């Protein structure tokens, strides 16, 4: 039996996509980057491809701009809502599993979004600075919680979530209402893809056998 469900925050629980795009474009404009991100482009491409190929950012620039972007997101956290239906799903899952957040956002931002939504079932929040280092964050959470990869299911909305889980041998459910579309997620081959929050209950049950 699984012991915990790890959830990504932005695009999975929190409907922060538009605010995230606005923050990214504000930073691009400030630093003279001749490229803007739009929702349709984001949905049909991976974060890695947008950052490396479209924006042509170096690793140093990624770290610099990501830090500024997180601070902008923190300032706008009060305007971020959670996706309809996700709160009741988390509450139901919390009766059986420990609910944990693993996010690339700031811990304080995550806590504020959850608090504003009245979500109190989350027991731990693990936050990291690296945009493409989520596998390290998952591994850290496993170690601190003294869990094996087989004890956990991860739920996320991006290709990089699926890639991270594969590196640490954790089963992963991808959700199609976030940053990446179902078409893009299918190519990454998660264990299951769901199209609405209520479908998570059945998907998790299928993997927890």
Task: Name the catalytic one among 8, 15, 157, 161.
Answer: 8
CA distance 39 to 197: 21
- The answer to whether the CB of 204 falls within 8 A of the CB of 153 is yes
For this structure, is 8 an active site residue? Answer: yes
With H, G, I as helix, E, B as strand and everything else as coil, classify residue 126. Answer: strand
Distance CA 118, CA 113 (A): 9
DSSP string for residues in 90-113: HHHHTTTSEEEEEESS-HHHHHHH
Q: Are 193 and 185 in contact (CB under 8 A)?
A: yes
- Token pair for 87: 């709160």
Cβ neighbours, 10 Å, residue 26: 13
The catalytic residue positions are: 8
């Amino acid at each position: 039996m699984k012991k915990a469900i790890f959830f990504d925050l932005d695009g999975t629980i929190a409907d922060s996509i538009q605010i995230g795009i606005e923050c990214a474009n504000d930073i691009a404009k400030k630093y003279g980057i001749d490229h803007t991100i739009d929702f349709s482009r984001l949905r049909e491409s991976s974060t890695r491809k947008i950052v490396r190929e479209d924006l042509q950012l170096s690793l140093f620039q990624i770290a610099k701009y990501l830090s500024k972007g997180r601070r902008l997101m923190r300032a706008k956290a009060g305007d971020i809502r959670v996706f309809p239906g996700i709160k009741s799903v988390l509450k139901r899952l919390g009766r059986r599993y420990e609910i944990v957040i693993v996010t690339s956002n700031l811990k304080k931002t995550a806590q504020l979004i959850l608090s504003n939504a009245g979500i109190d079932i989350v027991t731990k929040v693990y936050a990291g600075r690296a945009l493409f280092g989520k596998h390290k964050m998952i591994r850290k959470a496993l170690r601190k919680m003294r869990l094996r990869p087989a004890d956990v299911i991860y739920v996320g909305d991006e290709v990089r979530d699926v890639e991270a889980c594969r590196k640490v041998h954790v089963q992963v459910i991808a959700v199609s209402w976030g940053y990446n579309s179902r078409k893009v997620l299918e190519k990454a081959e998660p264990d299951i893809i769901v199209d609405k929050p209520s479908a998570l209950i059945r998907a998790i049950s299928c993997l927890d056998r």
